[in-house]
Amino acid sequence: MISGAMLIILMSCSEKKVSVALSSVTHKTAVKVVIAESRQYTPYLNLSGNAFADREANLGAALPGRVEKIYYPAGSKVVKGELLVRLSGELYTQALVEYNTVQKDYERVSRLNDKGSISSQDYDHVKAMYDASKAKVEMMKKNAEIVAPFTGTIVEYLVNEGENYFFNLNLDPGYSTTSGILRLMKLDPIQVEAEVNEKDLSKIKKGQTAYLTFDAVKDTVFKGRVSAIKPFLSTMTHTATVKVEIENGSGIIKPGMFANVKIELKRITAVCVPLNAVYRQPGTSDDYLFIVEGDKVKRQKVAKLFTDTIWTGVDGLTAGEIIVVSGKEKINDGSLIEIK
């Protein structure tokens, strides 16, 4: 027999259990929400690269000799066609003397040929000697003078005035390794070379806008454009070299400087949510959102398309859906929620 007091106690405990059970079923977690919306966005491809001269040449001579005269110091800007260095001209002088002699013979036989007083065979023989001598003079002159092939800056001399010139190789990594006496560079514009992974190569087109910063030039952003894309990839890194051209009239950018490159890609439209609405599964790379459906939430896996400072574009979501943005750490798939 159960006494009345015991019955009252049991009934009281049962009511408390039912009350607790009902409370757990009807409990709702307070959350804040936002509506996913469609936005336009300009994505960027971030790369790193190095600055190079627009043109570069190590200028020298085909024959060994001695540097007789240097007309401009290193750092000078020179114009195409200007005489930069004069070399020892013994061979040039010898060739010029021979040419003057052969030229007189040629002029004489030309007059005789006009009068018909010499055979064609003799005329052709002298003319061939004249042509050969003239070509030799031109060749020797090129080996006695160094002329600027383009407008640029003399960045350094590999041989000093008075020294003998043989075949001096430049061994600086990343620059021309051909033999030379001086190195001439065209520094305006500057070309920045960066490596693009094969999966991103289809996004790059010639003429695209790029924004560049340099560690050596603080608080300055330079605007450039994609000027060239190498038509093959490295078999080691599976990347292709992309060149970005920027103006450098001030000369502030120097070859060899490290550059951060942002290439502007095609504008896209995507469904966007605040960055803090995305929940990452601990220990994984999986991203999720909590979508509100009535008074419950559904956990939805999404893929990030792009991210800026506030918004992130996602794949796997429809514009207009209500997304939990605050309180998501307290809920799970199917949780009851109360929007605050």
Boundaries of every domain in the chain: 28-42+268-339, 46-53+186-264, 57-182
Question: Fold match between 28-42+268-339 and 46-53+186-264?
Answer: no
Contact yes or no for 181/64 (Cβ under 8 A): no
Residue whose entry in the numeric block shows the structure tokens 């490159």? 261
| Residue 130 to residue 105: CA distance in whole angstroms | 8
pLDDT value, residue 118: 83
pLDDT value, residue 195? 96
Q: In percent, how much of the chain has pLDDT > 70?
A: 87
Domain 57-182: homologous superfamily in CATH: Helix hairpin bin (1.10.287.470)
Phi then psi dihedrals of residue 96, to 5 deg: -70, -40
Candidate CATH numbers 2.40.50.140, 2.40.30.170, 3.90.199.10, 2.60.120.10; the one for domain 46-53+186-264: 2.40.30.170
Per residue in 88-127, pLDDT (tens digit) is 766 666 777 788 888 888 888 888 888 888 888 888 888 8
Q: pLDDT-based confidence at 6, cuts 50/70/90? A: very low
CA–CA separation, 179 and 158 (whole Å)? 9
pLDDT of residue 11: 47
Q: Give me the chain's average pLDDT, please.
A: 85
Q: What is the pLDDT of residues 207-236, one digit of tens each?
A: 999 999 999 998 899 999 999 999 999 999
pLDDT, tens digit, for every residue of 118-149? 888 888 888 888 888 888 777 777 777 889 99
Q: Could you read off the pLDDT of 201-213 as tens digits, one per residue?
A: 999 999 999 999 9
Torsion of CA 196, 198, 203, 207, to 10 degrees: 50
pLDDT score at 40:
87
pLDDT surpasses 60 at 246: yes
| pLDDT tens by residue, 252-309 | 999 999 999 999 998 888 999 999 999 888 888 889 999 999 999 999 999 988 887 7
Query: By CB neighbour count within 10 A (0-12 exposed, 13-18 middle, 19+ buried), where does 150 fall?
Result: middle
Cβ neighbours of residue 118 under 8 Å, at least 6 residues apart?
Answer: 109, 112
Are the C-beta atoms of 150 and 114 separated by less than 8 Å?
no
Architecture of the domain delimited by 28-42+268-339: Beta Barrel (2.40)
HEC states along the chain?
A: CCCHHHHHHHHHHHHHHHHHHHHHHHCCEEEEEEECEEEEECCEEEEEEEEEEEEEEEECCCCCEEEEEECCCCCCEECCCCEEEEECCHHHHHHHHHHHHHHHHHHHHHHHHHHCCCCHHHHHHHHHHHHHHHHHHHHHHHCCEEECCCCEEEEEECCCCCCEECCCECCCCCCCCCECCEEEEEEEEEEEEEEEECCCHHHCCCCCEEEEEECCEEEEEEEEEEEEECCCCCCCCCEEEEEEEECCCCCCCCCCCEEEEEEECCCEEEEEEEHHHCEECCCCCCEEEEEEECCEEEEEEEEEEEECCCEEEEECCCCCCEEEEECHHHCCCCCEEEEC
**181, 60 in Cβ contact below 8 A?**
yes
Residue 178 has pLDDT above 60, yes or no: yes
The predicted pLDDT at position 68 comes to 85
Query: pLDDT for 57-98, tens place per residue?
Result: 989 877 777 888 999 999 999 999 999 998 876 666 677 778
Give the mean model confidence (pLDDT) for residues 10-38: 66
Q: Give the mean pLDDT of 45-59.
A: 94
